[in-house]
Amino acid sequence: MRMRPTLSWTPTADLPPGTTDPRPVVDALRTGGVLVLSGAGLSTESGIPDYRGEGGSLSRHTPMTYQDFVGGPQARRRYWARSHLGWRTFGRARPNAGHRAVAAFGRHGLLGGVVTQNVDGLHQAAGSEETVELHGSLDRVVCLSCGTLSPRRELARRLEEANPGFAPVAATINPDGDADLTDEQVGDFRVVPCTVCGGILKPDVVFFGESVPAPRVEHCRELVRAATSLLVLGSSLTVMSGLRFVRQAAQEGKPVLIVNRDPTRGDVHALTRIALPLGPTLTTVADRLGIPLDDGTAARADH
């Protein structure tokens, strides 16, 4: 029997309280070599909801699991109908001040790397180079049979052609790019196959219930080993894919700093958790470091 993936975590009463003092982050960045680990909370100010914060999507939405996706054509029809509609909004999201601050820290040589749990591409759109996409990216599609990768925009065009007039109104777009649609709205949506072998297409992301590729995990572990400290931005660290790097940094005696409004599963390993909004906080940090942020006009044009 397959177990459902862990989607929630309940804070315990003995967690250290959060603070409103960003000085530890400023001090860590002055030292340099900081590894950033970002989560969905960093993208909420770009209009993409998170999973577990106040009003998070998990309160009304169960993400697609890998087991469900490969389990039958109806699940894939439902996923691709919802994801195709969501992509129209998701693909228009732009980096916010938090993304631009991280990119600016990188340009000034203060970072040892960026690892993101997000699949929205906003770090790269803001100018962060060599970002490790821990869970993949929604702007790519992979064939489960032959492994061919193709651009999401190409699939979007094919789905438009296969489903003319498909334009239901969705109440909400979720962090995984999935729009909330009823079965009636999904209707008889047509899914298209791989153009190379006719196989099943899947977004090149790690679904819940699926494992992050081992080489990618090891690369992230190497980044933690090389870092002077770990800065977690907007992640509850509920799932092990991100929490393991926090635990590794703590075990190696490296400071862990977290900026997240709500308590996280990694707080017990952290030097501090700053319970403030990410965009304004990182803007303040950049200002104290004398680092200007761009105005957002440099965001990647094709995002």
**Same structural domain for residues 33 and 131?**
yes
pLDDT at residue 295, as a whole number: 65
Residue 182 has pLDDT above 70, yes or no: yes
pLDDT band at 137 (very low <50, low <70, confident <90, very high): very high
Q: Where among 205, 220, 255 does a domain terminate?
A: 205
Query: Can you read off the two tokens belonging to residue 169?
Result: 């109104």
pLDDT at residue 160, as a whole number: 95
Whether 54 maps to a domain, the answer reads no
| Annotated binding-site residue? 58 | yes
Residue 9 is inside which H or E element, if any? none
**Same structural domain for residues 162 and 24?**
no
Residue 258 belongs to domain with CATH number: 3.40.50.1220
| Annotated binding-site residue? 8 | no
Residue 9 has pLDDT above 80, yes or no: no
**pTM of the full structure:** 0.88
DSSP-based helix, strand, coil % in the chain, nearest 5? 35, 15, 50
Mean pLDDT of 233-239: 94
Q: Please give the full DSSP string across 234-271, using - where no structure is assigned.
A: S----SHHHHHHHHHHHHTT--EEEE-SS--TTGGG-S
* Residue 118 lies in domain: 17-48+95-135+211-297
pLDDT at residue 296, as a whole number: 57
**Same structural domain for residues 146 and 115?**
no
pLDDT at residue 124, as a whole number: 96
| Annotated binding-site residue? 79 | no
| Annotated binding-site residue? 117 | yes
pLDDT band at 126 (very low <50, low <70, confident <90, very high): very high
How confident is the prediction for the chain on average, in pLDDT?
89
Query: Can you read off the two tokens belonging to residue 162?
Result: 């296969």
Q: Which of 108, 135, 219, 269 is catalytic?
A: 135
Over the stretch 37-51, which tens digit does the pLDDT of each residue have? 999 999 999 988 775
| Residue in 81, 238, 222 with CA at minimum distance from that of residue 162 | 81
pLDDT at residue 300, as a whole number: 46
pLDDT at residue 171, as a whole number: 59
Maximum CA pair distance of the chain? Answer: 57
Domain count, the chain: 2
DSSP-derived letter for residue 132 is E
Indicate if 269 belongs to the active site.
no
How many Cβ atoms from other residues are within 10 Å of residue 103's Cβ? 26
pLDDT at residue 59, as a whole number: 44
| Annotated binding-site residue? 185 | no
- The structure tokens 């572990």 sit at 221
DSSP-derived letter for residue 179 is B
| Annotated binding-site residue? 150 | no
Residue 2 has pLDDT above 80, yes or no: no
**Same structural domain for residues 200 and 217?**
no
pLDDT band at 119 (very low <50, low <70, confident <90, very high): very high
